[in-house]
């Protein structure tokens, strides 16, 4: 029997399902889900890294401030040491070598 000879009402239309299209759609859905999950994980990881980076920058700034204050303190202490050395050496230069009070010499008398 040729399908042209059979009236339209009696023809059984057997259509094949587009298995390739169904498989492609399922594959697209699975890949989209995997991509979305990976994107979410990487976004969460990036946010954690940004928080950690802010903490590191804050700690570095704190250490920089501490180092600057320490350097200022060292400079101040060095100035004080220089001033103390200068004060200690100045009286020594002007002081007499012996600590005896100076007594005027008595005039000699002749007899």
Q: Where does the pLDDT of residue 15 fall: very low under 50, low under 70, confident under 90, or very high at 90 and above?
A: confident
Domain boundaries, the chain: 18-88
Residue 9: the pLDDT is 65
Give per-residue pLDDT as tens, 29-87: 999 999 999 999 999 999 999 999 999 999 999 999 999 999 999 999 999 999 999 99
With CA atoms as reference, report the closest residue to 11 among 24, 20, 19, 2.
2
User: Is the pLDDT score of 10 beyond 80?
Assistant: no
Residue 67: the pLDDT is 98
Is 3:11 a contact under the CB 8 Å cutoff? yes
């Amino acid at each position: 029997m040729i399908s042209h000879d059979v009236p339209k009402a009696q023809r059984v239309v057997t259509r094949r399902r587009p298995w390739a299209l169904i498989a492609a759609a399922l594959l697209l859905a699975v890949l989209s889900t995997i991509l979305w999950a990976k994107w979410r994980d990487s976004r969460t990881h990036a946010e954690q890294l940004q928080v950690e980076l802010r903490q590191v920058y804050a700690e570095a700034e704190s250490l920089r401030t501490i180092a600057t204050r320490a350097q200022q303190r060292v400079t101040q202490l060095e100035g004080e040491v220089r001033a103390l050395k200068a004060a200690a050496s100045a009286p020594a230069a002007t002081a007499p070598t012996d600590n005896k009070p100076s007594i005027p010499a008595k005039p000699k008398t002749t007899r």
